[in-house]
Structure 1
């Protein structure tokens, strides 16, 4: 079982690489409170075992990929305090286990709520 825990709050820089989507057994991707830039790779939607996606308080931009709607085991998706634009994809409303979706403090134009 693979965990990317304790990587939050570390002043990490750079971009999220699409290859993260190859980590099929990844349960927690916690890269919050860093200085990550660029977009959220659509390949993260391939992380079928993911329980928590915590990318809050970075400098991420662009749209939220609709492929995140494939994260059927996700309980927490926190993308707040970035520079995301567009809207919250409709695909996220079909996540059966999702308890927390935080997209606040971005530049989103609308959502499915």
Structure 2
């Protein structure tokens, strides 16, 4: 077999494998995609494309730690992803903290440091069963902490 044919065979095999991998890539459920879109809209976040698959395109530590969505794609035999971490630091986010973060049921870490957020922490956040870290430092938040945050048995940092 000639060197050219061998290279062609290897390239063809690689392309078939990559195509098969792309078809079977784990996907973020539609309800989590919609939650991200709603949260981004509420916070006036316009710096990323809402139409790309956040887990396969932006997440998993491949982007800046200031603008990152991280997913765990090991669910249902590696076919389903869930958002586990959001880090939107220094993004010039505005508005009040949306209760919609509770729709991300697998969220463990939320960092919204150094933005222009105001208002209070929503009482609904007290039902975020998997949350471990909520970091909202250096914003313009006010008011009392909702007592519902006492329900967060896994919370390590607020």
Answer whether TM exceeds 0.5 for this pair: yes
Give runs of ≥4 in structure 1 deviating > 3 Å.
1-10
User: Which position in structure 1 is the counterpart of 2:115?
Assistant: 58
1:26 has 2:100 as partner: no
User: Which position in structure 1 is the counterpart of 2:106?
Assistant: 49
- Structure 1 residue 91: deviation in Å? 0.9
- The structure with the greater share of residues assigned to strand is 1
Alignment of 1:63-82 (within 5 A): 63-82=120-139
Tell me the SS of whatever aligns to 2:148: helix
- Structure 1 residue 25: deviation in Å? 2.1
Unpaired segments ≥5 residues, structure 2? 1-27, 29-54, 68-80
User: Which position in structure 1 is the counterpart of 2:38?
Assistant: none
- Structure 1 residue 33: deviation in Å? 2.0
- Structure 1 residue 58: deviation in Å? 0.5
CA distance, structure 1, for counterparts of residue 66 and residue 107 of structure 2: 20
Tell me the SS of whatever aligns to 1:53: strand
- The structure with the greater share of residues assigned to helix is 2
Task: Give yes or no for contact 2:96–2:117 (8 Å, CA) kept in 1.
Answer: yes
Alignment deviations for residues 44-73 of structure 1 (CA, whole Å, 9 cap, x no partner):
122210010101111001121111111111
Q: Which has the larger radius of gyration?
A: 2
Q: Which has the higher contact order (CA 8 A, sep 6+)?
A: 1
1:85 has 2:146 as partner: no
- Structure 1 residue 83: deviation in Å? 0.4
1:95 has 2:152 as partner: yes
Tell me the SS of whatever aligns to 2:93: strand
TM-score by length of 1: 0.68
